[in-house]
């Protein structure tokens, strides 16, 4: 029996989306951060994180503060350590987090792994303006973390922010998370392990043993999105890794894709119909991301 959409919306009440690609951005976007947060009111969204591959979104959020005053959802920004912000730039990280940013994504479109998958110089999709891209690695020739990475981790820990592994090679993620664990850090995230990154469940379990959460993107499983993966695959991931280590985010906001809330509703409905308990859905969409963002 198919779960009704209003019932799904009730389960998602208080949703926290840690991966929203709203604008501004040099990639075509469906809406800006304020409009994304306003649309979240349909499920009483508690919070969202605006992500850009190219710039510090916390400054966007602060610039939009006046428009956000009447919006219930909290909106946070962060910074992705790609070449457009100077790569492993402690100064840019420090500014983003001390201005209220919540997430640091290690290299995404500048990672070696991403460039292998998308060698078209950052056209992922085609940018609205011509841009250049440079590869950023977190390790040196001996495979050791660069000194800048330790500085960045220390700043993230001091500010209580989230370490996201970006789009890096699995072995780089392991090295990063081992260093983070050694520093006593507990807010670690791997996004879409089976897209670009290519992390098998067994290695993901090793990451969760280091304190990480595995973030899956409902946008990849939305039948009206551009990828349309089978929700049964997501359900198997949840069973394998466990709801206590899983976060569901949208990864939506692109001009060619539906709105994030619609993706959540459709994919959540599919997961409930596959047998996922409502309490588990809430843990992955509300409780776990609230912990990561330190909302409580």
What CATH number corresponds to the domain at position 254? Answer: 3.20.20.140
pLDDT of residue 123: 46
Output Rg (C-alpha) for the chain, integer angstroms.
18
pLDDT in tens, the chain (296 residues): 466 678 899 999 999 999 999 999 999 999 999 999 999 999 999 999 999 999 999 999 999 999 999 999 999 999 999 999 999 999 999 999 999 999 999 999 999 999 998 866 544 567 889 888 999 999 999 999 999 999 999 999 999 999 999 999 999 999 999 999 999 999 999 999 999 999 999 999 999 999 999 999 999 999 999 999 999 999 999 999 999 999 999 999 999 999 999 999 999 999 999 999 999 999 999 999 999 999 99
Q: Among all chains, which residue has been given the structure tokens 């960045």?
A: 152
- Tell me what pLDDT residue 122 has: 46
Return the percent helix, strand and coil in the chain, to nearest 5: 45, 15, 40
Query: DSSP characters for 54-119?
Result: SS-HHHHHHHTHHHHTT-SSEEE-EEE-SGGGTSS-HHHHHHHHHTT--EEE--STTSHHHHHH-T
Q: How far apart are CA 250 and CA 233, in angstroms?
A: 16
Look at the chain and report how many structural domains it folds into: 1
**Residue 170, phi then psi, degrees to nearest 5:** -55, -40
140 vs 134: CA distance, rounded Å: 16
Question: Cα separation of 196 and 111, whole Å?
Answer: 10
Task: Give the integer Cα–Cα distance in Å for 110 and 138.
Answer: 11
The counts of H helices and E strands in the chain are: 13, 9
Please answer whether residues 16 and 290 qualify as being in contact, where contact means their C-beta atoms are separated by less than 8 angstroms. yes
Q: Give CA separation, 6 vs 2, 3, 36, 43, 255, in Å.
A: 12, 9, 20, 10, 26
Strand partners, 247: 215
CB under 8 A, 24+ apart: contacts of 138-145: 138/88, 138/106, 138/107, 138/168, 138/172, 138/175, 138/176, 139/172, 139/175, 143/175, 145/175, 145/176, 145/179
The CA distance from 250 to 15, in Å, is: 11
| Residue 200: Cβ within 10 Å count | 11
CB 188 within 8 A of CB 166: no
State the residue range of the domain holding 204.
5-292
> Mapping DSSP to helix (H, G, I), strand (E, B) and coil, where does residue 10 land?
helix
- Please give the Cα distance from 233 to 139 (Å, whole number): 32
């Amino acid at each position: 029996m198919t779960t009704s959409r209003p019932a799904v919306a009730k389960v998602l009440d208080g949703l926290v989306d840690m991966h929203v690609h709203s604008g501004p951005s040099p990639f075509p976007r469906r809406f800006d951060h304020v409009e994304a947060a306003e649309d979240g009111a349909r499920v009483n969204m508690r919070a969202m994180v605006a992500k850009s591959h190219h710039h510090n979104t916390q400054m966007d959020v602060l610039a939009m503060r006046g428009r956000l005053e009447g919006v219930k959802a909290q909106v946070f920004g962060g910074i992705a350590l790609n070449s457009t912000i100077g790569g492993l730039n402690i100064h840019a990280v420090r500014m983003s987090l001390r201005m209220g940013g919540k997430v640091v994504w290690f290299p995404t479109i500048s990672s070696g792994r991403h460039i292998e998958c998308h060698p078209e110089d950052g056209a992922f999709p085609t940018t609205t303006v011509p841009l250049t891209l440079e590869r950023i690695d977190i390790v040196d020739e001996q495979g050791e973390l660069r000194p800048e990475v330790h500085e960045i981790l220390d700043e993230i820990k001091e500010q209580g922010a989230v370490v996201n592994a970006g789009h890096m090679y699995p072995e780089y993620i392991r090295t990063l998370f081992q260093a983070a664990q050694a520093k006593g850090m507990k807010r670690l995230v791997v996004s879409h392990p089976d897209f670009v990154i290519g992390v098998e469940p067994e290695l993901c379990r090793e990451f969760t043993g280091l304190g990480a959460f595995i973030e899956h993107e409902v946008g990849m499983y939305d039948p009206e999105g551009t990828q349309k993966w089978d929700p049964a695959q997501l359900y198997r991931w949840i069973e394998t890794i466990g709801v206590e280590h899983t976060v569901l985010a949208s990864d939506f906001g692109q001009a060619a894709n539906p709105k994030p809330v619609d993706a959540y509703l459709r994919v959540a409905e599919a997961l409930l119909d596959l047998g996922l308990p409502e309490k588990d859905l809430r843990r992955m969409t509300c409780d776990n991301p609230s912990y990561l963002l330190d909302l409580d």
